[in-house]
Structure 1
């Protein structure tokens, strides 16, 4: 079977069923959870099914999993039951040879579902499952060609369709754009935000851009602006205190950087517009530069104050700082604790 993306499986009109061997892999736990529930045929109110068994991949032994797969169910009316191995990365690594043999000749009494964070495509096991069974990639689809960046247009469409329908509301396109700008690309966080918005409207009523800014942005946006205010004024201590407040409330540094970068990048672009105009022998007003950088009229006054506080030398270096922070989060500082250091370093640079 060809590799499926979870977005396609979840938005398909028809029901989906697992194969004799099914692998769900990807770094988004919410997407893996939704995909697994659909494959098991669980509705919103069901936690599990009597003919399915959950096993912990950190503890599971192959002999026990094999026994479960070969044991019929008293509740399934002759249908195979589902054996789900969660967090199965360690399990797959440990029992790769046994799994390769099983994939070639699976049991008819049970369906094996493996949930993993990663599943390299150059392994024999991957190729064998992809050929005759079911592989579902639980990650935001990427752009065309060899791009590794998430396709934000597909993400927004998925939010307006599948996720909004989960909460019985209608998410407008502009609202989805603002939601991604404020909250990043974590589907768990985006789902929570849409759940909050659904409570604020009548069932089936539209959720607008203004509502996202008011109800989702709320204290999160306020605190993000307070961080930027403190850093641009040279008060790194206050910026770090507000960062600690956000992280203690459950926010992840990975989700915070896109929110903070959204504003800071436009300040850097405004400074670049001024530099370019001057090198071209032209003069450009600060408000025109901010407008070119993408600031909206209601943001203009605050953005102008921020740019003046930052000062031209630091504003000119802003795009480089943000690029450096983004590369570190995707490389050497990809863990939660190291990701926090990246933000702290950025605030200290802004305050210096």
Structure 2
């Protein structure tokens, strides 16, 4: 008599995990874990949670905590119900560098989250610090959600990112235009995101390959950033000559101003930081070389006051070349004068 077939063992129950939410469509929960190294995506996710809560109740109270420079009792204090019961949003940065005090209080907090509070925890994944907290959240403690922000490194990932920018805005971009755009910003996702948003804002109708070439084509882009480099270095005459060559070769004033704005924004983000370039880059979602280049630019005579003056000049020029002035070339020359001389125009 044949032996009865062995009974199949029951599959092991899989460990429950919290919902995974796209950074493009974030939603609140008592605990929101924003994980991964891609800072631009994390910033969008956290801003999306804020906007979601703000739309539900404009009286939202917002508090920011640093997990690496934490004062005991802060998390419970800022998440506790207020006198009038307004909803609370607590944004916690630097969880990958969290102190022992924060780790202990966060583990206790997620066991009993405060009613009406949303706590967003930002962990870049740069270290295993805080792993116990992440594991607890991911197992379902606290009723949270996770918003993954993985690194965007491959060409296909950058292509998908840029395509998502236009899709989210309800805009169309030609396939070859999309390829040209991602190729122009292959090394910097933050600049790619800024370029996408500029095209979405500036261009009416579909974005074509010609439009991308006009804004970010190889020679135009090179000329624009070359002019910005010489002006930021304080070489006024050389910057004016470079501007005239760029315009003569077909450069459009709008992307020239955009090149200045991108470099000045990077300088402003890096200014005052004494941390190693790698640390700053990880915190700001930048590349090491971008931080080092911005620091070199800042060493050419820039102060907090002159940097603010330059940013204001770029903002004014941006408005003028987009229609607020009848003479966009003069607007560019005035911007370059302010930036290269570090003085208000005419002084």
Q: Which residue of 2 aligns with 1:221?
A: 222
In 2, are the aligned partners of 1:183 and 1:189 still within 8 Å (CA)?
yes
> Could you tell me which of 104, 109, 115 is aligned with 1:97?
104
Q: Which residue of 1 aligns with 2:138?
A: 130
* Cα distance in 2 between the residues matched to 1:168 and 1:74: 39
Determine the C-alpha separation between the residues in 1 that align with 2:189 and 2:173: 15
- The answer to whether the 8 Å contact 1:25/1:119 transfers is no
> Which residue among 114, 122, 127 is the counterpart of 2:121?
114
**Aligned with 1:249: secondary structure?**
helix
8 Å Cα contact 2:215-2:221 kept in structure 1: no
User: CA 1:179–1:250 in 2, change beyond 3 Å: closer, same or farther?
Assistant: farther
Computed over aligned residues only, the root mean square deviation of the Cα atoms, in angstroms, reads 4.5
Partners of 2:51 and 2:137 lie apart in 1 by 22
Deviation at 1:140, TM superposition (A): 4.0
Distance in 2, matches of 1:84 and 1:251, equals 23
The answer to whether the aligner puts 1:20 opposite 2:34 as a matched pair is no
Give the 5 Å matches for 1:36-185.
36-42=46-52, 49-57=58-66, 59-72=69-82, 74=84, 76=86, 80-91=87-98, 94-118=101-125, 120=127, 123-132=131-140, 133-140=144-151, 150-161=153-164, 163-165=165-167, 169-184=171-186
Q: Counterparts in 2 of 1:226-265, with a 5 A limit?
A: 249-250=263-264
Deviation at 1:207, TM superposition (A): 0.8
**Where does the alignment leave 5 or more consecutive residues of structure 1 unmatched?**
142-149, 227-244, 253-328, 341-352
Matches of 1:138 and 1:104 in 2, distance apart? 25
Partner of 2:273: none
Residue by residue over 1:301-338, the C-alpha shift from the partner in whole angstroms, topping out at 9 and shown as x without a partner, is: xxxxxxxxxxxxxxxxxxxxxxxxxxxx99xxx73478
Structure 2 residue matching 1:192: 3-state secondary structure: helix
Q: How many Å apart are 1:156 and its aligned residue?
A: 1.9
For the pair 1:212 / 2:212, whether they are aligned, the reply is yes
Shift of 1:180: 1.6
Rounded to whole Å, the distance in 2 between the matches of 1:155 and 1:201 is 21
Residues 106 and 133 in structure 2, CA contact (< 8 A), matched pair in contact too: yes
Separation (CA, whole Å) in 1 of partners of 2:215 and 2:85: 45
Distance 1:82 1:159, change over 3 A: same
The residue number in structure 2 matching 1:314 is: none
Where does structure 2 lack aligned partners over 5 or more consecutive residues?
1-16, 228-258, 267-280, 294-347
* Counterpart check, 1:35 vs 2:30: no
What are the superposed Cα offsets for residues 201-255 of structure 1, whole Å, 9 maximum, x if unpaired? 22xx2112232122123642346899xxxxxxxxxxxxxxxxxx98993597xxx
Asked if the contact 1:25/1:138 (under 8 Å) is kept, the reply is yes
Give the TM-score normalised by the residue count of structure 1: 0.52
SS in 1 for 2:139: helix
**Following the alignment from structure 2 to structure 1, what is the Cα–Cα distance between the partners of residues 119 and 177?**
39
Aligned positions, number? 232
Task: Describe the superposition over 1:171-209 as per-residue Cα deviations: whole angstroms up to 9, x where unpaired.
Answer: 22222222121112534312221233234422xx21122
Within-5 A mapping of 1:190-339: 190-202=192-204, 205-217=205-217, 219-222=220-223, 249-250=263-264, 335-336=288-289
CA distance in 1, matches of 2:291, 2:50: 37
CA drift at 1:85: 2.2
